[in-house]
Chain A
Amino acid sequence: GIQVEQSPPDLILQEGANSTLRCNFSDSVNNLQWFHQNPWGQLINLFYIPSGTKQNGRLSATTVATERYSLLYISSSQTTDSGVYFCAATFQTGANNLFFGTGTRLTVIP
């Protein structure tokens, strides 16, 4: 069946450190998004990235669709980066139902 797997499940960083979060998916994706969920539950869209590389400030993401994975890079981490990072994908052209991974919980300590 369709699977979206994220690693690591938990990550603790010292403020200022860099990190890489990984998302593997089981089939060809039509849509791949990265989200950040803050401690109050709000989900913020970080990237729409079905292929290629994008950067937004200290965050960047790369999706290699042919190898079925995506990476989210966080550089110079800050305490406000703490929360849960989800990747989500749609697997059928024209379908809008996102399948979510179980997330990576990031804790940045000062």
Chain B
Amino acid sequence: DGGITQSPKYLFRKEGQNVTLSCEQNLNHDAMYWYRQDPGQGLRLIYYSQIVNDFQKGDIAEGYSVSREKKESFPLTVTSAQKNPTAFYLCASSFGETQYFGPGTRLLVL
């Protein structure tokens, strides 16, 4: 089954804790992206990667980190430096201009 998978669906973070969100795609897409969505808002770009072992900051990269060791995987770590991490996180991939999105992960702070 081709597509983009994200896990977990829900994630709870304690104060001072780093958490990692998984994003995997089997579409053979070169580019991958992480977006954050706050309630009632559009999506904002956190990080993107156009090729393995390379990634760039988006508009709101502070408090987040990524890696791109494999073409299929683009995990996002929400660090303790991100003071307001509660949001819906969406991963996407693209081949050419069109982006395709995963089902998202909802992160809540305890």
Which residues of A are in contact with B by a Cβ distance under 8 Å? Answer: 4, 31, 33, 35, 40-45, 48, 50, 86, 88, 96-98, 100-103
Contacts and interface: CB of A to CB of B under 8 A. Distances in A.
B85 interface: no
Given A42-B104, A97-B58, A48 B98 contact: yes
B29 to A, nearest CB: 11
A101 B97 contact: no
Q: How large is the interface on B (under 10, 10 to 19, 20 to 34, 35 or more residues)?
A: 20 to 34
B43 A88 contact: yes
Given A41-B104, A96-B94, A86 B99 contact: no
A41 B43 contact: no
A86 B92 CA distance: 15
B98 A45 contact: yes
A90 B43 CA distance: 13
B42 A96 contact: no
Nearest to B56: A97
A48 B90 contact: no
Contact of A42 (B43, B94, B98, B103): B103
Interface string B38-50: 0011111100101
Contacts of B92: 43
Nearest to B31: A96
Contacts of A44: 101
B44 A100 contact: yes
9 contacts: A41-B103, A43-B92, A88-B43, A96-B33, A96-B48, A96-B50, A98-B33, A98-B45, A100-B43
B48 A97 contact: yes
Contacts of A103: 41-42
A41 B88 contact: yes
B93 to A, nearest CB: 11
